[in-house]
Structure 1
């Protein structure tokens, strides 16, 4: 199991309330069978849910590239005219331009890279016999924009009993009300209120509640407690089922050891 220093706040940003705990009765919803996308796979041992931390794929790289290219052209022209004294720019303007450029590139370049490198699916596997949860987790670091070690998929594994699902909503200046909802999963150090990790679950609170109830049913009662889903599962590694943007994204490749463990029962004895 991966461990972290317990230095995160107990409540996630924009916390509204906690969903029912892993071993409490789930909040049943008659629309569970209409979930879209449906679970990737279900059997007697594990259930795998799809997940995407980007709501719209391709937008970040397209807008980011246009913005970066346009600004870079203007910046080069500004620097050329300043250095050749064709434009007498004041020191304060130069300092502001340099500072603004650093901030802009720091915000935009990671967004472009993430949009390009993020896997086409970021699944979560729930193993009911091991009582473990396996997150296909993509990590990034804005302070090291071009690092290979600090960017990429590094799956993490936690105990089912240590998870808490949190419904969150925050307002952002987006012009249309700006309400951004999500459900986050916090990992609690046993016997304490210390949060050792926090992971994204869903963008929408209602869908998050449905997925969470589905997982609770599976972990508590098994696959026979789940409904027959209206929508078929999707193979995220099958290009024929995906849009062009998702086809160019990296395929899901679980490390062999974690892939085997997450799909099998523990050895008896």
Structure 2
């Protein structure tokens, strides 16, 4: 069987789901800790934006500026100039439309992305539930391609992967993340890949915690130093976070992800 395909920037795989997991130094001091832990499931936080509002502010200012300049250019050509320069007008209109198409997706993400995109690992069902906000940069105004679209996968089909790559300077240079790839059952064909953590160190700690929980249960976890953060009702220092959409699981998935299967299915 061939090896699973890895994306650009892949460095190594984290320990497999069945590899023994132990309590590591610093694990108890993880901040933020899991959102919730009980006998059935553990929920890991996944805040999507570190600085919400930046794209909204800068993008809006840029669009106002480009639109104003375009409007002024059109007004000058049609009402003040001796002869309208259609090529000049087309150039400004094209630049304005391009700015809208480039900036609109990031402004929309700033407004619509939820406060958290948690992942629930159900030990009894051996299922993993991802609360996800989907985006499509090439269709910034689409309704179907954007929005909350949770997915569920089997625990046995998951692999955690560490990625490290250098991005353009505007993105801060070195970028690290841990992704979870999902393979088609019984094969190495990757059918999906989702973000697990935005740093390798944090991702390794969460992955060790999740594996420990799935293998041995909540009793094996350390006593976390920090209290879980209430992402929906907590007091956020950033005013844009305070106005972000709250996490709201679909009712059926919410119930399933927090409960054990009926006795006949165990």
Structure 2 gaps of 5+ residues are none
- Name 2:232's counterpart in structure 1: 237
**With structure 1 as the length reference, what TM-score do the two structures score?**
0.88
Check 1:49–1:205 CA distance in 2 against 1; reply closer, same or farther (3 A cut).
same
The match for 1:258 among 253, 259, 262 is 253
Q: Deviations over 1:194-215 (max 9, x none)?
A: 2111111111111111111110
C-alpha deviation, 1:175, in angstroms: 6.2
Aligned to 1:160: 155
Q: Pairwise mapping of residues 96-107 of structure 1 onto structure 2 (< 5 A)? A: 97-107=92-102
Shift of 1:141: 2.2
Q: Are 2:115 and 1:145 aligned?
A: no
Matched, 1:185 2:175: no
Structure 1 unaligned residues grouped into runs of 5+: 1-8
Distance of 1:189 and 1:263 partners within structure 2: 24
The offset of 1:85, in angstroms, is 7.2
Q: Contact 2:23/2:221 (CA < 8 Å) preserved in 1?
A: no
Matched-pair contact (CA < 8 Å) for 1:187–1:198: yes
- Could you tell me which residue of structure 1 aligns to residue 6 of structure 2? 11
Cα separation, partners in 2 of 1:260 and 1:67, compared to 1, 3 Å? same
Number of aligned positions between the proteins: 260
Q: What's the RMSD between the two structures over aligned residues?
A: 2.3
TM-score (structure 2 length as normaliser): 0.89
Any conservation in 2 of the 1:48–1:126 contact (CA below 8 Å)?
Answer: yes
